[in-house]
């Protein structure tokens, strides 16, 4: 009886784990679900408010402006313009989003970050980028390459990755992500710009840094390239 009970517990845990795995951007049960905030003008489909399909237009499924360079006048000298369901309602429930990334010459940086809800494929359109990602514990292997126009790189789900413009001209890249809301967590911002600040003792030990340096880093402004 004990073996049977253990087997049932194992199956229950497996089923629970499977439910978490499939919890991200589940497949829709209808052709589309144009996101809308007005419940009076919407129908409930798959537990979400969607615009009545009879009222959907082509404008719900198109977006103009990704050809316009982003403002890179910031600390990182880069800009990310991500198109999610907030800007393009027709993306709702489709599990995809797109971003344009602009880099200033000689050091424009999309800093180390990760997406908690999606993988990413990046295509270089202009310039020369040094890009890569780091694997999780315990190996922390760096996979990196210098990319030129036409080159692609994939950043696996949840892994820290980055892009740096090492060229003398501006660089432009397009990224496709496997979630309508992939999220982003920039490592330096999260660690040194946390609100409220993390106790310095934690960062001194974790990063092998001097306490004064940690406290100085925590007083600096940490910006996102958006």
What's residue 35's pLDDT?
A: 81
Tell me whether residue 140 is annotated as binding: no
Question: Rounded to whole angstroms, what are the CA distances from 109 to 37, 51, 134, 147, 171?
Answer: 35, 39, 17, 14, 10
Flag the least confident range among 46-55, 78-87, 217-226.
Answer: 46-55
Tell me whether residue 161 is annotated as binding: yes
At residue 45 the predicted structure's pLDDT band, cuts being 50, 70 and 90, is: low
Tell me whether residue 110 is annotated as binding: yes
Give the residue from 36, 191, 47, 41 showing the smallest Cα distance to 112: 191
Q: pTM, whole model, 2 decimals?
A: 0.81
Give the residue from 141, 129, 106, 224 showing the smallest Cα distance to 175: 129
What's residue 58's pLDDT?
A: 96
Tell me whether residue 79 is annotated as binding: no
Contact, 81 vs 163, CB < 8 A? no
At residue 43 the predicted structure's pLDDT band, cuts being 50, 70 and 90, is: low
Tell me whether residue 185 is annotated as binding: no
């Amino acid at each position: 009886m004990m073996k049977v009970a253990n087997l049932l517990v194992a199956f229950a845990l497996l089923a629970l784990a499977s439910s978490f795995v499939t919890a991200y951007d589940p497949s829709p049960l209808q052709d589309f679900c144009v996101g809308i905030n007005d419940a009076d003008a919407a129908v409930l489909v798959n537990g979400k408010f969607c615009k009545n399909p009879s009222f959907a237009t082509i404008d719900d499924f198109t977006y103009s402006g990704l050809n316009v360079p982003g403002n890179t006048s910031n600390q990182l000298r880069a800009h990310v313009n991500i198109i999610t369901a907030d800007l393009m309602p027709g993306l709702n429930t489709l599990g995809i989003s797109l971003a344009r990334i602009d880099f200033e010459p000689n050091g424009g940086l999309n800093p180390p970050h990760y997406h908690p809800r999606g993988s990413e494929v990046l295509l270089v359109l202009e310039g020369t980028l040094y890009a890569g990602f780091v694997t999780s514990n315990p190996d922390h292997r760096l996979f990196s390459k210098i990319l030129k126009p036409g080159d692609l790189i994939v950043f696996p789900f949840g892994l820290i990755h980055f892009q740096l413009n090492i060229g003398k001209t501006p660089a432009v890249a397009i990224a496709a992500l496997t979630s309508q809301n992939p999220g982003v967590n920039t490592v330096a911002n999260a660690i040194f710009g946390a609100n409220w600040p993390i106790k310095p003792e934690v960062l001194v030990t974790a990063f092998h840094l001097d306490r004064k340096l940690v406290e100085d880093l925590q007083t600096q402004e940490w910006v996102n390239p958006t």
